[in-house]
Amino acid sequence: MRKIPYPLIFIAFIAISLFSCLEKEPETIKIAISKTNDNYSSWVERNGENAVWVDLYGLHIDSALKILDNCDGLLVTGGEDVYPDYYGKISDTAKCGTFDRYRDSLELALIGHAFNINMPVFGVCRGLQILNVALGGTLIIDIPDDFDTIVIHRQKEWQNCYHDVTLDTTSQLFMISGVHSAQVNSNHHQGIDKLGNELIITSYAMDSLPESIQWKNNKGKGFLMAVQWHPERMDKIHPLAKNLAVEFLREATEYQKYK
């Protein structure tokens, strides 16, 4: 029987190894969600074929932080008002809606830890608001009472509540979406008053209310983006919905490589 030359065996081994690498399934990207529903989980799933998620709501905060360490991104979602004592407006509590003090504590802990480990963070609606508070900012307690506007930012039928936003063309949001302005779905009665430390505003509603934020200087920091609208409820291909999820998941993929 004729022997196969050793160099050919070596070459065949390398070729098989390379082929195996090419066929290897992509790594699973795990997104921690501060409190989820079907809209948020679907937004993650449909924009990343290898993306999975874990809901941290209801866990002991120490347990949630341990799970976060094994994740690749943090999604901070919409919901109740942030308790106003966190930003120095306790006297205006009566003008707020409902509170969830456990959720406030959970999300502030998650945000702080995510920042410490440079994990990508994305915020939606309340998520934007608590991120602003976490970085030393304050909130408008009630837009209809405290902010002179004709723009409707919230109504009972939230499915029909849309308004225009205009983007800062120097922002990461503009680079990701490629749009100067667009209509977005809105459902909030609070918003940014004093901007948090190290942040910049990247879009505004027509009444000059801030609608999104990012780091002013992201050097040495993880990805951060937050929007006041609800991308998870918008058209699946809307550039201010789909593009944002795709970029967040891309950042999570990069984070996983180097964490």
Of 245, 193, 165, 212, residue with least CA distance to 82: 193
Q: Are 71 and 51 in contact (CB under 8 A)?
A: no
Distance between first and last Cα of the chain? 52
Catalytic-role residue among 71, 107, 163, 232: 232
Three-state secondary structure string covering 117-160: CCCCEEEECHHHHHHHHHCCCCEECCHHHHCCCCCCCCCCCHHH
List the strands of the sheet with 210-215, edge to edge: 51-55, 29-33, 73-76, 121-124, 224-227, 210-215, 199-205, 162-167, 181-185
193 burial type by CB count under 10 A (0-12 exposed, 13-18 middle, 19+ buried): middle
- 230 has catalytic annotation: yes
- 125 has catalytic annotation: yes
Catalytic-role residue among 71, 96, 107, 125: 125
Residues in the chain: 259
Catalytic-role residue among 153, 188, 230, 238: 230
The token pair at 33 is 């969600």
The token pair at 175 is 């680079």
Of 153, 156, 164, 155, residue with least CA distance to 190: 153
Q: Are 97 and 80 in contact (CB under 8 A)?
A: yes
Catalytic sites, residue numbers = 125, 230, 232
